[in-house]
Amino acid sequence: MAGLPVYRWRLAPEGLATFRQLRAMGLRPGGQPVVAQLERPRRRRGPLVAYLYRIDLARPVRPMTPAKRAALARANAARRICPACGRDAGYRIPPSLGMCVPCADAPAALAA
């Protein structure tokens, strides 16, 4: 089975774009398969890889409906509520802490 064509950074042919480039144009891949691969070399690590899609087969981005907008607002609001104290933190609570910063710092302040 043949693999995908691999292009070096900034050397992809015209008519191909990454997912982010498609999104900036107001497009989405629309179920099409990945056509090629873009690689950006890095020192001491493996290359960064981006998949390329055909622009002519891309479809327009679906518009945000009021129901989707409301669901997204509820999901973002839930990520702001601290499970320890139950208050709105005013920011998205980091998953590494699992609670707001004052609640995370409280045990360290008591230990000192």
Beta-strand runs (E) in 1-112? 6-8, 16-17, 27-28, 36-40, 48-54, 59-60
- Phi, psi (deg, nearest 5) at residue 27: -120, 170
Q: Is the pLDDT of residue 109 over 60?
A: no
97 within 8 A of 107, measured Cβ to Cβ: no
Q: Is the pLDDT of residue 69 over 90?
A: yes
Q: How confident is the model at residue 112 (pLDDT cuts 50, 70, 90)?
A: low
Q: How many CB atoms lie within 10 A of CB 100?
A: 23
CA distance 49 to 5: 12
pLDDT at 59: 96
The average confidence (pLDDT) of the chain is 90
